[in-house]
Structure 1
Amino acid sequence: MEYPQPYTLAATAPTVPPHPMLVAVVGQQYCCPHPVDLAIVRMVLTLADKFTVTDINSNVVFKLGVSLLTLHDHRVLLDVAQNPVVTLRRKIMTMHDRWQAFRGDSSDPKDLIFSLKRSSLIQLVRTELDVFLASNTSEQVCDFKIKGSWLGRSCVVYAGESNTIVAQMHEKHTFQSIAFGKTNFMVTVHPNVDYAFIVALIVILDEINQDGRYKKTHHHQQNLPTEFPT
């Protein structure tokens, strides 16, 4: 499988201090020696939400493969050549919104890359998620942590329980986004950090947010609990 070369992505202004080590989760080919800005464009007025990732020159880097049949339980991140990079699956009937990421289009446990879950059951305003690499089977300490306000599009990805930032996102409003029903936001990926991994995290964040809205509305109408037992 051929992958786009990292240097095809435009560099942002070098205002972010480089990460001291290479963070290659999906693949080293997605690590750049400079900060990378990615724009996330999500069409929200369609039957199946369209999720596209571009660089700062509007070149498509990734797209999200979606299916109305799988609802929000199965997503595939595709590269510019439509090759599957990561398959994202939500584990049903869990209390912590656990998701798993697999290499390519696989769902085999041997191809597991990482898993993600909410740090706590009740999160009213701020989002906090724990990310565990496949090798971290004990899950005593997370490998990455996501904190922030998803509604405000101001989430930050940290290395483990440290204060070391590996990526951060912020919302970007444009006239076109308002007029055409798009949700736009930018993600700055720090040097030597796997940008395919960061995009996969953002896809899951978006799905958790959308699923949370649906469950709150749907179960409130039917007076049912919003969570299920493990």
Structure 2
Amino acid sequence: MQKKSLSVNQNGIISPQYCAPYAVDLAIVRKVMTLVDSFTVTNVNGKTVFNVKGSLMSLHDHRVLLDATGKPVVTIRRKMMSVHDRWQAFKGESTELKDLIFTVKRSSIFQLKTKLDVFLANNTKEDVCDFKVKGSWFERSCVVYAGESLTIVAQMHKKHTVQSIAFGKDNFMVTVYPNFDHAFIVSLILILDEINQDAREAAQN
């Protein structure tokens, strides 16, 4: 299973154009003092790589990752009535099963720290996950592993700046390892954020 996953990685899970033969550092800026939380993803030179679209009404069950030109790359949708907080990612703006790229679910229902299992669309049995996400969104720290192995494909960590505090922005960095799809990693981070939003709202109620 892991060999199969790693061969897919070389070609790009979402698209080969989002793979590089070297490690890619991305900065993610999340505006947290607006009616609609917004994400902008830039490279180390400050050039926009991705944006996220989501209206106030649909924010918690539907988000679209856009490239720098505004073209839809991935649509992320929460699967309703699922026990493990199940999320699905589709090509472009589609939500049809034929365009499914991957599915994400919690490893277990009750967790102190987030653990997510990721299954590619062709892994229909879901006996073994293709990727695993471990970490804490509140600490802005997480690691993405290939399958059940200790092979790391991406890491996220908090970036503290004076500007981020003053302007109500939440900045963090993501390092995507060589030959790995950074659009896929950004999609996983969006799902992590959604799960965090749900947890925060539950704590307030």
TM band (smaller chain): over 0.9
**For residues 136-215 of structure 1, what are the structure 2 equivalents within 5 Å?**
136-215=123-202
Number of residue equivalences: 199
- Provide the secondary structure at the position in 2 that maps to 1:81: coil
TM-score scaled to structure 2, two decimals? 0.94
Q: Aligned pair 1:33/2:21, yes or no? A: yes
Q: Which residue of 1 aligns with 2:72?
A: 84
TM-score scaled to structure 1, two decimals? 0.84
Q: Which residue of 2 aligns with 1:221?
A: none
Query: Which residue of 120, 136, 143 maps to 2:108?
Result: 120
Higher share in strand: 2
- Provide the secondary structure at the position in 2 that maps to 1:42: strand
Q: Which residue of 2 aligns with 1:75?
A: 63
Structure 1 residues 23 and 178: CA distance shift in structure 2, 3 A: farther
User: What CA RMSD, in Å, does the superposition of the two structures yield over aligned residues?
Assistant: 1.3
Q: Which residue of 2 aligns with 1:132?
A: 119
Runs of 4+ more than 3 Å apart: none
Q: Distance in 1 between matches of 2:11 and 2:161?
A: 32
Q: Unpaired runs of 5+ in structure 2? A: 1-5
Q: Distance in 2 between matches of 1:23 and 1:97?
A: 28
Q: Distance in 2 between matches of 1:182 and 1:45?
A: 8
Amino acid at match of 1:151: F
Q: Distance in 2 between matches of 1:216 and 1:101?
A: 27
Identity across aligned pairs (percent)?
A: 66
1:167-221 Cα deviation digits (max 9, x unpaired): 0000001001000111100000000000000000001101111112112322xxx
- Provide the secondary structure at the position in 1 that maps to 2:191: helix
- Provide the secondary structure at the position in 2 that maps to 1:136: coil
Q: Which residue of 2 aligns with 1:95?
A: 83
Q: Distance in 1 between matches of 2:103 and 2:86?
A: 7
What's the offset of the Cα at 1:107? 0.5
Q: Unpaired runs of 5+ in structure 1? A: 1-18, 219-230
Amino acid at match of 2:48: V
Query: Which residue of 23, 41, 54 maps to 2:42?
Result: 54
Q: Which residue of 2 aligns with 1:227?
A: none
Q: Distance in 2 between matches of 1:61 and 1:71?
A: 21
Q: Distance in 2 between matches of 1:168 and 1:110?
A: 30
1:24-58 Cα deviation digits (max 9, x unpaired): 11011100000000000000000001100000111
Structure 1 residues 123 and 23: CA distance shift in structure 2, 3 A: farther
Q: Distance in 2 between matches of 1:93 and 1:22?
A: 34
Q: Distance in 2 between matches of 1:215 and 1:170?
A: 25
- Provide the secondary structure at the position in 2 that maps to 1:207: helix
Which structure: larger Rg? Answer: 1
